[in-house]
Amino acid sequence: MKFSCTQENLLQGLQVVSHAAGKNISLPILNNVLIKIENKELKLVTTNLEMAISCRLRAKVDEEGDFTVPCRLLTDYLSVSSPGRVDVEQKDSELLVQSASDKTTIKGNVAVDFPLVPQLERKKVYGLKVADFKEMAQKVIFAASKNEARPELGGVLLNFNPDYKQWHLVSAATDSYRLAEKEVKLLENLSNKSYSAETSKVIVPVRALQEILRIVSTYHEDLEEEQPVEIVVSDSQILFSFGMVELVSRLIEGQYPDYRQIIPASSKTSISFNVAEWIKRIKAASLFSNVGINGIVLTFKAGNEQKTTFVSTNGQLGNYTSEELCQIEGEDNHILLNYRYLLDGLMNLVAEEAVLKVISPNSSLSKTLKGRLLSPKHNVV
């Protein structure tokens, strides 16, 4: 194997795939990056057996082949090497890396020991705009559960073309205390390519969505403006394709709860408010909330007053009270809830204004903005 490319391109490719490699004591080969040249194309691949990331790079190919070396070591070396042309060549059990001023050899392993990355049949292929994918992922990931007791809640539900919304992707995540839902438009076709209109519902690990979101957010400026994110769905795996990058992940087995039945169909109080102002007041109130409970009280006054009062009390530290003028429709109301759930939702609403809907002190509340975020009340025993 022998090729030449720029230090910048090779380093960027390694940074794309490096997050799937790590310190694996039982299977050291998983710490490596597979460098593969086939059909005059250079590809970098890493995997942790649950997820695999591959990235194609531009290069001048002199000799095809494949080899694996420690991903972290090669990435760290290139990050401190000089920019410009890099010549890479496999010599027996080592990889020779040369630039104008540097030369190094890195010991590696034969590619035959590297796990095979699954190839998905492209029957169900969906496409969506980069901006829509980023917004979808950012709005729901935070609500997924970190408790491994219920694996299905540790993922994000992706519902493609549901019966009630053709050519849409509805995503949702919940940890059973709060729920986030986001709806985005799917592409019907692009550049003479038609996408699937079939219905499909899968649970994707949060880690996979976080990785493709990181890649899309970091490298989308290097691609054409219309470049979509393509998603291929099979029975047990999902593939995200974006430009020169592909990410394959296992799907989470299990039945996702029917969350839509708990979303309130109506409310008694509707509050329109400034997101930035509420974030500041909730953060201030959190300083005086009781540890463990994290409770704050929101009181809503409709009619002539049109204001929200934030109150938190701590027997050891003191108390906090603040008022904010808001547009309130309906009846007076109040609610006690865990400020973390409310704050997490607001921090992921990238907008100036939002609407909070409350039924009663013993019911759920919802925050709405181009989608839906729902946060049940915190119950104090």
100: left (phi over 0), alpha (psi -120 to 50) or beta: alpha
Section 64-87 average pLDDT: 96
Note whether 230 and 132 are within 8 A (CB).
no
- Whether the predicted pLDDT of 168 surpasses 60: yes
- Whether the predicted pLDDT of 277 surpasses 80: yes
Tell me if residue 120 falls in helix, strand or coil: coil
Q: Which CATH superfamily is domain 264-375 in?
A: DNA Polymerase III, subunit A, domain 2 (3.10.150.10)
- Equal CATH topology for 2-113 and 264-375: yes
Note whether 195 and 127 are within 8 A (CB).
yes
Domain segments of the chain as ranges: 2-113, 124-259, 264-375
Single-letter amino acid code for the residue at 156: V
- Could you read off the pLDDT of 283-335 as tens digits, one per residue? 999 999 988 889 999 999 999 999 999 999 999 999 999 999 999 999 999 99
- Could you read off the pLDDT of 203-250 as tens digits, one per residue? 999 999 999 999 988 776 665 556 789 999 999 999 999 989 999 999
Single-letter amino acid code for the residue at 142: F
Note whether 156 and 141 are within 8 A (CB).
yes
Average pLDDT value for the chain: 90
How many Cβ atoms sit within 10 Å of the Cβ of residue 350?
11
Task: Report the pLDDT value the prediction gives residue 192, as an integer from 0 to 100.
Answer: 74
Residue written as token pair 């989608």: 371
Section 335-351 average pLDDT: 88
CATH class of segment(s) 124-259: alpha beta
- How far is Cα 16 from Cα 18, in angstroms, rounded to an integer? 6
Distances (CA, A) of 277 to 271, 310, 315, 343: 14, 12, 26, 12
How many Cα atoms occupy the beta-carbon half-sphere of 209 within 13 Å? 26
Predicted TM-score (pTM) of the model is 0.88
Record the tokens describing residue 108, joined without a space: 């590696």
Distances (CA, A) of 24 to 21, 48, 70, 236: 8, 9, 11, 24
Residues paired with residue 47 on neighbouring β-strands, in sequence order: 52
> 2-113: what fold?
DNA Polymerase III; Chain A, domain 2 (3.10.150)
CA proximity to 186, closest of 158, 209, 212: 158
